[in-house]
Structure 1
Amino acid sequence: MRLIIALCLFAVAAAAPATNAPDYDGRYYNKYNDVQLLRYESDNIGTGPFRYAWEQSDGQRAEASGQLKNEGREDEALVIVGSYSWVGPDGVTYIVRYTADENGYQPEIEEGPGGAIPSAVLASLAG
């Protein structure tokens, strides 16, 4: 169960753009110093179901909820349903909606207007 949570958190971190990433002309920029947390919600007392959501001024956002399925039985599993999104350097908003359960991490990738999903994003999600 904790592995699924760790994988979900890793996926969110991996999707975040690097702080000092090269721009299209090869120069480095650091536009993330002024990012503001616009919304943060958390409902987690350490046991039972949980839910969280956050949104930043740079367009990044994430939300998830989870609960135990078949609690106390041999086939008990943690089920997490969530999504995360970010605005890429190309101006496109990339959205990943996922379910993580006894069948593994199952993402569905969506993008706004502006181009195809970068191969690096697909590779990071595929493992």
Structure 2
Amino acid sequence: MKLLHCLTLIAVIAAVLAAPQGDTEILENSVENIGIGGYSFSYKLSDGTTRTEEAVLNNAGTDKESISITGKVTWVAPDGQTYTLTFVADENGFQPEGAHIPK
């Protein structure tokens, strides 16, 4: 159940950060679906937003099966400052890191 919450949180964050703002255009887009074993994608938008994400299936077919997701999102805030968030989401939960996140 913890993994489901983690994946849901990632999906919400992705939707919020990827939402087009005004005349934002997609400059680059890459998607690789490697089937049940994982996926990867990346994109770059005209407003300076970039995102990469990769997922791999660990211990496939066992009772310890899990998915590990790593990613990075960079965006320019309304105040002009650039923010970068890196994250890991796995059996240990969602683990974000960024200079703007309190420790």
TM-score by length of 1: 0.68
Name the structure 1 match of 2:93.
104
**How do 1:41-120 and structure 2 match up within 5 A?**
41-110=30-99, 117=100
* 1:16-73 Cα shifts (integer Å, max 9, x gaps): 68x7xxxxxxxxxxxx322110000000154222100011000111110001111111
Identify the structure with the greater strand proportion: 2
Runs of 4+ with deviation above 2 angstroms: 1-6, 12-17
Amino acid at match of 2:45: Q
Q: Which runs of 5+ in 2 are unaligned?
A: none
The alignment's C-alpha RMSD in Å is 2.3
TM-score by length of 2: 0.83
How many positions carry a matched residue from both structures? Answer: 100
Name the structure 1 match of 2:9.
7
Instruction: Report deviation, 1:13.
Output: 2.7
Checking the alignment, whether the CA contact within 8 Å between 2:87 and 2:94 is kept in structure 1 is yes
Name the structure 2 match of 1:29.
none
Checking the alignment, whether the CA contact within 8 Å between 1:16 and 1:86 is kept in structure 2 is no
Instruction: Report deviation, 1:9.
Output: 1.9
Larger Rg: 1
Q: Secondary structure at 2:98's aligned position in 1?
A: strand
Identity %: 33
Q: Which runs of 5+ in 1 are unaligned?
A: 20-31, 111-116
Pick 1 or 2: higher relative contact order, CA cutoff 8 A, min separation 6.
Answer: 2
